Chain A
Amino acid sequence: MHEMGITQGILDAAIEAAHKAGASRITAVNVSVGELTEIIEDALQFAFDALKPDTLAADAVLNVTMITPRSHCNDCDIDYDHDRFQMVCPTCESFAVTPLNGRELQIDSIDTEDDSEE
């Protein structure tokens, strides 16, 4: 259930950025989440809907891009996609690998509206 804490982080960052930009409301929050973080998209959506009322993001949607894990094999020098459970190089079965993607927990952007523009 750490999705609640993570979603609070998403909202805090989104609202701070919207305030800075002088926006009236947030219409969308766009985030990237690596599958290796074991974060469940449904739980993020649930927490987002629970936390957003009475904020600038009250009517915002949360767009989550899940990122497939990808690693680099230090022995045979290839990059490869893999699932959450197998890091080992599929070509040479080396354990000497460097993770490239899959641990992301990033807020990419927010979409906002400004009443004064209308």
Chain B
Amino acid sequence: MARIDLAKPILDKNERLASENRARFEEAGVFVLDLMASPGAGKTTTILATIAALRDRYGIAVIEGDIASSVDAEKIKAHGIPAVQINTGGACHLESDMIKRAVSALDLETLDLIIIENVGNLVCPTEFDLGEHAKVMILSVPEGHDKPYKYPNIFQRAEAVILNKVDTMPVFDFDEMEFNGVVRSLNPKAPIFRISASKGDGVSEWAEWLAARIEVVRIKAGKSAK
């Protein structure tokens, strides 16, 4: 018997391709956001609200990840924003090679921001680096304030947490103090943005946070500040 020492990441191949993606984005000065949430948390509505807030300043495109259908990409395109649909055909998350292929359908020169809408899932997308600059998660009020207890990893991995559908708080038994406390204990640094994507409340604070991140990548690539 022989032992061969490897000591290498299990997701080595995914991580290598993710690094290639990231290098390409940085050269082009394009900030890439990986948006993760459960099905129905309001990912597409939040993306549309974010587009409305930032489209005058930045070139934006969207990569939609779904198990099936192109419903979401059609919604985005209807607003005049380039969108690429990835159908994972059953897989519960996106991987970096899918992003690499999707990006080849976009003109990076015209873009400052790519929003990736990951497959609706609070578990699997968190472990897969896509080459993004930030992972952000959305939790919607109807899902309940106890979700960080049940899915701690995604709350730890997110650089920011968006709490969506805050306008429905009176209807649901959502304990926001407890939610904020658990999220802080899991992820002390992440800001929590309270929004109602459908009504537009709170979207500007979130959009400004994102704009500040976009600027860093733009300036690094030698684009002028906006």
A and B interact? yes
The size class of the interface chain A forms with chain B is: 35 or more
Residues of the A chain whose Cβ atoms lie less than 8 Å from the Cβ of B69: none
Secondary structure dominating the interface of B: mixed
Residues of the B chain whose Cβ atoms lie less than 8 Å from the Cβ of A36: 152-153, 156
The size class of the interface chain B forms with chain A is: 20 to 34
Residue A76 at the B interface, CB < 8 A? no
Q: Judging by beta carbons under 8 Å apart, are B8 and A13 in contact?
A: yes
Taken together as a complex, chains A and B put the C-alpha atoms of A111 and B1 apart, in Å, by 7
- The B83-129 residues at the A interface (CB cut-off 8 A) are 91-93, 95, 123-124, 126-128
Residue B7 at the A interface, CB < 8 A? yes
Stretch of B72-80, B172-180, B183-191, B194-202 at the chain-chain interface: B183-191
Which residue of A2, A23, A85, A108 is within 8 Å of B127 (Cβ)? A2
Secondary structure dominating the interface of A: mixed
A84-118 to B contact mask, C-beta < 8 Å, 1/0: 11111000000111000000011111111110000
Residues of the B chain whose Cβ atoms lie less than 8 Å from the Cβ of A105: 9-11, 127
Taken together as a complex, chains A and B put the C-alpha atoms of A13 and B186 apart, in Å, by 32
Which residue of A2, A10, A21, A95 is within 8 Å of B185 (Cβ)? A95
Q: Judging by beta carbons under 8 Å apart, are A108 and B5 in contact?
A: yes
Residue B12 at the A interface, CB < 8 A? yes
Residue A31 at the B interface, CB < 8 A? yes
Interface on A for B, CB 8 Å cutoff?
Answer: 1-2, 5-6, 9-10, 12-14, 17-18, 21, 23, 27, 31, 36-39, 84-88, 95-97, 105-114
